[in-house]
Amino acid sequence: RAKDGGRNQLQFYTSEMNARVTERTLIEGHLRNALSRGEFVLYFQPRIDCLTGRVAGLEALIRWLQPELGLVQPDRFIGVAEETGRIVEIGEWVLVEACRQARAWQDAGLPRIPVAVNVSARQFRQAGFVQEVFGALEAAGLPAQYLELELTESLMMQNVDGVIAAMRQLKEGGVRLSIDDFGTGYSSLSYLRRFPLDYLKIDRSFVRDMLHDKPGEAIVRSMITLGHSLGCRIIAEGVETRDQLGYLTREGCDEIQGFLCSRPVPVEAAAEMLHAES
């Protein structure tokens, strides 16, 4: 019996592994032509200033409209794109497109609100990344203060000196910098103060667990204090309830982003949101 059980378990794992390999091959194959076929689009999610209730920024989030697969979310393809290196050209497209869109909104007379772009480690480490950013701004005619780059802890903790040098150049050029998904990586607190950061984004896993127990509350409260002492504005990610908003506001969190305010929306809906701000 034990033997049978073992065999069944083995079969189970094997078929799950097969499914994973098939999925990866499928995504990798379709990714090859996705850019040239114009299958990517940007959605935008606002973040809201806790004090004024106004839109403080819009995060550009990539979506993939694959004719056979439908609307593919980033969790399904960003990892594969990172492994294959394709993320570099995809990331460049996102940067150029986000800058172009931000400028187009400004030209349409909408309020000037910064757009945030997620940067993957592989993309950031490319020689010439900093120049690529300034190139995208120039091509769009967008002043640098309207672009924010979101970097992850794991990106920042590898080759710290090189990362700091690149961040300084971006910062001196006027680009704002955020640390994304804070708390999920392994930040060295002693290094953290060396990065020229404008925003610290508390990962949504902490926000989700925050009101369930005292330690959950204390962790978020400490992150807010830590971020402020580093000179950052604090953004809480994944805010879904009024209770979460209330707690965060009381504890001095500066901005919130999450389904409570809005899901990520297509460009036209984002424009309407900006219009409502004017």
Please give the residue ranges that form the binding site for Mg ion (CB under 5 A): 118, 150, 180-181, 237
Q: Is 153 in the site for ligand C2E (CB under 6 A)?
A: no
Residues for the chain: how many in total?
278
Dihedral-angle region of residue 109 (phi above 0 means left; psi in -120 to 50 means alpha; beta otherwise) = left
User: What contacts 24+ positions apart, CB below 8 Å, involve 155-164?
Assistant: 155/119, 155/120, 155/121, 155/124, 156/187, 156/191, 156/195, 157/185, 157/186, 157/187, 157/188, 157/191, 158/121, 159/125, 160/191, 160/194, 163/124, 163/195, 164/194, 164/195, 164/196
Q: Is 78 in the site for ligand C2E (CB under 6 A)?
A: yes
Residue 94 contact, options ligand C2E, Mg ion, none, Cβ 5-8 Å cut-off depending on partner type: ligand C2E
Which of 65, 74, 164, 194: binder of ligand C2E (CB under 6 A)? 74
Query: Which of residues 181 and 255 has its CB atom nearest to ligand C2E in the complex?
Result: 181
Which of 92, 148, 181, 254: binder of ligand C2E (CB under 6 A)? 181
What amino acid occupies position 199? Answer: Y
Q: Is 73 in the site for ligand C2E (CB under 6 A)?
A: yes
Q: Kindly state the smallest distance separating residue 203's Cβ from Mg ion, in Å.
A: 6
Q: Kindly state the smallest distance separating residue 13's Cβ from Mg ion, in Å.
A: 28
Angle separating helix axes 74-84 and 2-31, nearest 10 degrees: 80
Q: Which residue is nearest to ligand C2E (CB)?
A: 258
**Residues lying near ligand C2E in the complex (CB under 6 A):** 45, 61-62, 73-75, 78, 91, 94, 118, 120, 150, 180-181, 204, 237-240, 257-259, 264
